[in-house]
Structure 1
Amino acid sequence: MSNESAWFTSSYSNAEGGACVEVALSWSKSSHSGNYDAQCVEVAACPTTVHVRDSKDKAGPQLAFGPDAWAAFVAFAGAQSVA
């Protein structure tokens, strides 16, 4: 599991650096990811959103789920057999 935090400047901050607020997401690697980073998924949970990204492209696109949608996804994925 990674203890890395990713910091983001708030969209309400201005370009001159005044009134800047930064927030951090603490990313965790999936327990189903292998040691070779070939199929790694990381998640960062906040009170109202669960963020998901590919660990090989940390600056790339991310998905964001509400807690209920994430719980439904995890329940569905857990019920599936792995080939």
Structure 2
Amino acid sequence: MTANLAWFKSSYSGAEGGQCLEVAYAAMVHIRDSKNAESNSSTTLAISADSWTAFVNFAAKSALQ
């Protein structure tokens, strides 16, 4: 389950919240919408570390274009 994960969001996220993803590292990388962070039934996406790295690299490259 995701109850004991240490969640964090980007330092680029604003203090207002509501439009952020939160990430937690474990055997898999867990991702959730910060709007639902307080809910124990929050939907999460779990992907491999390799997939997360590929996504972050793609996003960084796309931001430069």
TM-score range, shorter chain: 0.7 to 0.9
Question: What residue is the counterpart of 2:34 in the other structure?
Answer: 55
Distance 1:62 1:30 in 2: 17
Question: Where do 5+ consecutive residues of structure 1 fail to align?
Answer: 1-5, 8-23
**Structure 1 ranges of 4+ moved more than 6 A:** none
Q: Distance in 2 between matches of 1:61 and 1:32?
A: 23
More helix by share: 2
Identity of paired residues, percent? 45
The structure with more radius of gyration: 1
> TM-score scaled by structure 1?
0.63
Number of corresponding residues:
60
1:35 shift after superposition:
1.2
Partner of 1:40: 20
Which has more strand, going by share of residues?
A: 1
Greater RCO structure (CA 8 Å; 6+ sep)? 2
RMSD: 1.7
